[in-house]
């Protein structure tokens, strides 16, 4: 199937699944434990109904959105994804360049397989930096300092990893750090020669921002300690707020009280996110968590939503319920996995064209005007 016959993000996912060895596909596609949250994120969007309004002139549709005085072409951007080059070689740079070319935000993960400096160069002023707070304060400060020098002005601090998620697929696939070429992995690679050859050319991906630090890591526990910490608290966030002079957002907020504390501490925004269902299986889908958060903090800071965006209409649903903007993670990853750069472009195009069509059908020519009035009152 050619990329032009991929009608949806789900089609791109299926195409990626055919081209990528199972262990690498599962690394991105999988979720926590029995993957309840992964499924519920998408199902919950479908439960939000919007009521189209007719006899409105929709001959011109405007999806432009202004965030922090910068105008973007669409109301969605790329969420941070770690180790994405293991999914498809050069995925990080491909997506950073795509976001710049299409004029949408690109959030560089601190666990990316490309350095934050190279990603800043590729995404230019559309690049934001996502920070995992390390159990080693020097590591955290090192990343912040590098992000400043590289020119990032937006810092997205991820809050939802007090412990690493338990992902059953990765355990079954025996993914290990450092990476081991087990006979099963070799067999899977042989079934996907294009992936294997391209990967060989690019070399084994690593967590590039920490490459030196992780050289001596012999276990996953070592890696975890470097990347994240179980003791990240509001006091640390207060210090980060004082330290970072640019815009600061907190990612992974699900509780209205946590949203209120972020606003009280002077954060510029939050990302209502459950990490795409990768951290816990028992929590709420983000679109269900959103209304209480909107009630608590609307108007005090920027509200972004992610987790489960697969359709342009999902971005409208989030806006109708009070999110200013959305991020998509896997939607872009599936695109690049389905076909490299053209696949990434197709993922953007699918979401954007679905969004434009849905705005026309909703009778809302300006994305900015979508709001609670568009929610269906039909019970
Ligand atoms: C992520 N996510 C993530 N978040 C983050 O803050 N830092 C990171 O390094 C990563 N890494 C990561 C890897 C992979 C493989 C996935 C799928 C996700 C979470 C990501 O930013 C975002 O919250 C979700 O991807 C959103 O859900 P969807 O759009 O993938 O359903």
Read off the pLDDT of residues 32-78 as tens digits, 9 standing for 90 and up: 999 999 999 999 999 999 999 999 999 999 999 999 999 999 999 99
State whether the beta carbon of 142 lies less than 6 angstroms from ligand 1.
no
The average pLDDT across 10-28 equals: 96
Q: Highest mean pLDDT range out of 164-173, 183-192, 220-229, 350-359? A: 350-359
Given ligand 1 and candidates 10, 23, 81, which is best to mutate, with the most ligand atoms within 8 Å of its CB? 81
275 as an active site residue: the answer is yes
Q: How far apart are CA 353 and CA 64, in angstroms?
A: 14
Q: How confident is the model at residue 214 (pLDDT cuts 50, 70, 90)?
A: confident
In the prediction, which pLDDT does 178 show? 65
Structure tokens at 65: 């959105």
Which pairing describes strands 70-72 and 65-67: parallel, antiparallel, or unpaired?
antiparallel
**What does the alpha-carbon distance between residue 294 and residue 296 come to, in Å, rounded to a whole number?**
5
CA distance 192 to 108: 28
- Whole-angstrom Cα distance, residue 280 to residue 369? 34
On average, the pLDDT of the chain sits at: 95
Q: Which helix (H) or strand (E) holds 108?
A: strand 106-108
Lowest average pLDDT, out of 6-10, 51-55, 212-216, 281-285, goes to 212-216
For domain 3-374, the CATH architecture is Alpha-Beta Barrel (3.20)
Look at residue 78 and give its three-state secondary structure: strand
Which residues are CB-contacts of 224 (< 8 A; sequence separation ≥ 6)?
164
Question: What is the C-alpha to C-alpha distance for residues 323 and 21, in angstroms, rounded to an integer?
Answer: 36
CA–CA dist 313, 48 (Å, integer): 10
Q: What's the 80 CA to ligand 1 centre distance in angstroms?
A: 6
CA distance 21 to 173: 11
| Domain boundaries along the sequence of the chain | 3-374
Cα–Cα distance, 11 to 1 (Å, whole number): 10
Amino acid 185: pLDDT:
86
Q: How far is the CA of 43 from the centre of ligand 1 (A)?
A: 18
Confidence check: pLDDT of 175 > 60: yes
Residue 362 beta carbon below 6 angstroms from any ligand 1 atom: no
Specify the pTM: 0.97
pLDDT at 181: 77
Report whether pLDDT(222) > 80: no
Which comes out higher in pLDDT, residue 296 or 204? 296
* Strands (DSSP E) found in the chain: 65-67, 70-72, 76-78, 106-108, 127-131, 154-158, 247-253, 269-272, 302-305, 325-328
Confidence category of residue 1, pLDDT binned at 50, 70, 90: low
């Amino acid at each position: 199937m050619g990329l032009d016959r991929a009608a949806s993000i789900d089609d791109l996912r299926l195409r990626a699944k055919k081209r990528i060895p199972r262990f690498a596909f599962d690394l991105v596609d999988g979720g926590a434990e029995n993957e309840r949250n992964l499924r519920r994120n998408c199902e919950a969007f479908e439960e939000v109904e919007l009521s189209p309004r007719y006899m409105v002139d929709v001959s011109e549709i405007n999806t432009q959105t202004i965030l922090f005085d910068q105008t973007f072409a669409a109301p969605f951007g790329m969420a941070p994804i770690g180790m994405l080059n293991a999914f498809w070689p050069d995925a990080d740079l491909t997506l950073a360049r795509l976001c710049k070319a299409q004029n949408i935000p690109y959030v560089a993960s601190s666990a990316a397989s490309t350095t934050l400096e190279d990603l800043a160069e590729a995404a230019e002023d559309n690049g934001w930096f996502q920070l995992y707070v390390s159990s080693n304060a020097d590591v955290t400060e090192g990343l912040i300092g590098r992000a400043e020098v590289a020119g990032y002005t937006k810092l997205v601090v991820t809050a939802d990893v007090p412990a690493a998620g338990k992902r059953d697929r990765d355990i079954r696939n025996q993914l290990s750090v450092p990476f081991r070429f087990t006979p099963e992995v070799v067999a899977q690679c042989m079934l996907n020669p294009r992936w294997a050859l391209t990967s060989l050319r690019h070399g084994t991906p690593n967590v590039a921002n920490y490459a030196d630090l992780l050289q001596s890591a012999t276990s996953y526990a070592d890696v975890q300690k470097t990347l994240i910490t179980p003791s990240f608290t509001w006091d640390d966030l207060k210090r980060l707020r004082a330290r970072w002079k640019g815009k600061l957002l907190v990612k992974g907020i699900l509780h209205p009280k946590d949203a209120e504390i972020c606003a009280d501490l002077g954060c510029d925004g939050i990302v209502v996110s459950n990490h795409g269902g990768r951290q816990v299986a028992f929590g709420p889908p983000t679109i269900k968590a959103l209304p209480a958060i909107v009630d608590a903090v609307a108007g005090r800071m920027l509200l972004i939503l992610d987790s489960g965006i697969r359709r342009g209409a999902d971005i409208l649903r989030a806006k109708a319920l009070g999110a200013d903007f959305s991020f998509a993670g896997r939607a872009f990853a599936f695109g690049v996995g389905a076909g490299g750069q053209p696949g990434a472009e197709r993922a953007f195009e699918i979401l954007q064209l679905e969004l434009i069509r849905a705005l026309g059908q909703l009778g809302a020519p300006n994305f900015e005007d979508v709001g609670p009035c568009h929610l269906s009152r039909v019970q």
